[in-house]
């Protein structure tokens, strides 16, 4: 726990971002009679009208099952869904559209890699390397896999400031490690991990790599070729698209080697009772009818972000987060979780002995939506000797005035617990 964030000036909101905020109808509503201040973006972001319209348009004009029909609606729905795959590929700078597998979200993407890539390769003497700041989605699938195979899970420690312990990382990166799976941005501390050199070290030792980008793709440009990861996962609902849709990026050479994830329609070449053959990636991993409207809407969300510009978003959010961290650190009763060099998205804290759920409830009466709990990072909280924290998490549409409202409400809450 640390409170050394330096005071910063109030950021100026770029005109493009002021205008973009107007695209989010929900941000105009009130909560408990107060203007809504939505600071739970790490859990799920709000949706712009363009994405909402894309969903409506699909159901009003194109709704049909994809990949199978010969009629016009099915052809149009298939084209829209596959266009969305291309948009994701370009968004991540993948080499080819076939490197994009649509899933239900980051969680399913990681489970897919555990089942289809790693499980067939693992021996009991092998290891999977993750960190102490992972979301449960990047812990539990590996624990289940370790139980099934006898392999071991190794953990890179996290220092008091919320940064990875890189010396220990170097020691843990042995030839026994078969997969290195790491979070890009911590959903609890907000630490931006400098993953490129870590991925390069793993690659140099022939270790496969997975980047959990669930909390980074909505805040900064992410380029899979530049980062050099084998797999990358993210969820649509955290990047202004609907729930129930997400992405697994996998390098094509690796996807080609992988066994199917689930069996069913659309993932097969031929089926007979004497044996079944499977389609090449990505279809091999997409059994059954997918979330067609969700995929199409994800494409529109990525178009929206690209038009606004991830560089613009990143620059503004960096200032907003620095401002928020410095304002929160200046509240004497507050303790921030970690003090990372680069922070994105989230700031977690405790307020004296107050239970974080009570803080969340008090702020809710002020119209301010934050998160309270372990944020699906129980091991990280245990490491800091905590059961829970309160978390404010930001998107580009949040403003310095909303940070100020949070600070006022927390100061008021502090008086109740004094």
Q: Which residues bind ligand PLP (CB under 6 A)?
A: 42, 105-107, 135, 137-138, 183, 187, 212, 214-215, 235, 376
- CB of 156 vs ligand PLP, minimal distance in Å: 15
CB neighbourhood size of 175 (10 A):
10
Which of the residues 36, 354, 376, 407 is marked catalytic?
A: 376
Helix (H, G, I), strand (E, B) or coil at 233: strand
- CB of 241 vs ligand PLP, minimal distance in Å: 11
Identify whether the C-beta of residue 195 lies closer than 8 Å to the C-beta of residue 347.
Answer: no
- CB of 137 vs ligand PLP, minimal distance in Å: 4
Identify whether the C-beta of residue 85 lies closer than 8 Å to the C-beta of residue 281.
Answer: no
Q: How far apart are CA 191 and CA 210, in angstroms?
A: 18
Q: How far apart are CA 308 and CA 16, in angstroms?
A: 7
Name the pairing type of β-strands 334-336 and 275-278. unpaired
Length of the chain: 418
Identify whether the C-beta of residue 29 lies closer than 8 Å to the C-beta of residue 36.
Answer: yes
Query: Closer to ligand PLP at the Cβ: 11 or 250?
Result: 250
Q: How far apart are CA 258 and CA 249, in angstroms?
A: 13
Query: Closer to ligand PLP at the Cβ: 107 or 344?
Result: 107
Q: How far apart are CA 239 and CA 297, in angstroms?
A: 11
Identify whether the C-beta of residue 124 lies closer than 8 Å to the C-beta of residue 154.
Answer: no
Q: How far apart are CA 365 and CA 76, in angstroms?
A: 46
- CB of 293 vs ligand PLP, minimal distance in Å: 17
- CB of 239 vs ligand PLP, minimal distance in Å: 10
φ and ψ of 269, to 5 deg? -90, -55
Record the tokens describing residue 275, joined without a space.
């044996």
Q: How far apart are CA 388 and CA 380, in angstroms?
A: 10
Strands of 76-149 (E only): list them.
Answer: 100-103, 127-131
- CB of 375 vs ligand PLP, minimal distance in Å: 7
Query: Closer to ligand PLP at the Cβ: 104 or 178?
Result: 104
Record the tokens describing residue 54, joined without a space.
């894309």
* Nearest to 164, CA basis, from 18, 360, 342, 321: 342
Query: Closer to ligand PLP at the Cβ: 116 or 247?
Result: 247
Q: How far apart are CA 265 and CA 288, in angstroms?
A: 5
* Nearest to 86, CA basis, from 286, 300, 258: 300
- CB of 187 vs ligand PLP, minimal distance in Å: 3
φ and ψ of 3, to 5 deg? -140, 55
Query: Closer to ligand PLP at the Cβ: 136 or 152?
Result: 136
Query: Closer to ligand PLP at the Cβ: 149 or 216?
Result: 216
Q: How far apart are CA 117 and CA 209, in angstroms?
A: 11
- CB of 344 vs ligand PLP, minimal distance in Å: 11
376 is catalytic: yes
Query: Closer to ligand PLP at the Cβ: 113 or 214?
Result: 214
Query: Closer to ligand PLP at the Cβ: 52 or 137?
Result: 137
* Nearest to 180, CA basis, from 155, 143, 209: 209
Give me the active site residues, please.
376
């Amino acid at each position: 726990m640390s409170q050394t964030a330096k005071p910063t000036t109030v950021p100026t909101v770029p005109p493009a971002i002021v205008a973009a905020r107007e695209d989010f109808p929900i941000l105009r509503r009130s909560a408990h009679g107060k203007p809504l201040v939505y600071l739970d973006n790490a859990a799920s972001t709000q949706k712009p009208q363009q994405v909402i319209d894309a969903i409506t348009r699909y159901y009003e004009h194109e709704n049909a099952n994809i990949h199978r029909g010969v009629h016009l609606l099915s052809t149009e729905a298939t084209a829209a869904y596959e266009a969305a795959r291309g948009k994701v590929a370009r968004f991540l700078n993948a080499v080819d559209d076939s490197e994009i597998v649509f899933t239900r979200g980051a969680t399913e993407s990681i489970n897919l890699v555990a089942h289809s890539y790693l499980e067939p390769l693992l021996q009991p003497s092998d290891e999977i390397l993750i960190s102490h700041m992972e979301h449960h989605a990047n812990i539990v699938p590996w624990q289940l896999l370790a139980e099934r195979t006898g392999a071991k899970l190794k953990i890179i420690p996290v220092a008091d400031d919320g940064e990875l312990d890189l010396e220990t990382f170097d020691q843990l990166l042995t030839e026994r490690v078969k997969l290195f799976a790491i979070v890009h941005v911590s959903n609890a501390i907000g630490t931006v991990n400098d993953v490129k050199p870590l991925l390069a070290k793993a690659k140099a030792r022939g270790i496969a790599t997975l980047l959990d980008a669930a909390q980074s793709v909505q805040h900064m440009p992410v380029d899979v070729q530049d980062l050099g990861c084998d797999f990358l996962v993210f969820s649509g609902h955290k990047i202004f698209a609907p729930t129930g849709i997400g992405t697994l990026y996998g390098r094509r050479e690796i996807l080609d080697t992988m066994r199917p994830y689930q069996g069913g329609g659309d993932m097969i070449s031929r089926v007979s009772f004497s044996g079944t053959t499977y389609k090449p990636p990505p279809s091999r991993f997409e059994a059954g009818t997918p979330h067609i409207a969700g995929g199409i809407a994800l494409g529109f969300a990525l178009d929206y972000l690209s038009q606004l510009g991830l560089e613009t978003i990143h620059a503004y959010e960096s200032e907003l987060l620095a401002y928020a961290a410095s304002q929160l650190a200046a509240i004497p009763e507050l303790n921030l979780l970690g003090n990372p060099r680069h922070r994105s998205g989230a700031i977690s804290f405790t307020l004296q002995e107050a239970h974080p759920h009570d803080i969340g409830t008090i702020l809710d009466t002020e119209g301010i939506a934050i998160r309270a709990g372990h944020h699906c990072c129980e091991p990280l909280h245990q490491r800091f000797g905590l059961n829970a924290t309160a978390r404010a998490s930001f998107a580009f549409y949040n403003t310095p005035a909303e940070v100020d409202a949070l600070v006022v409400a927390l100061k008021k809450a502090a008086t109740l617990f004094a």
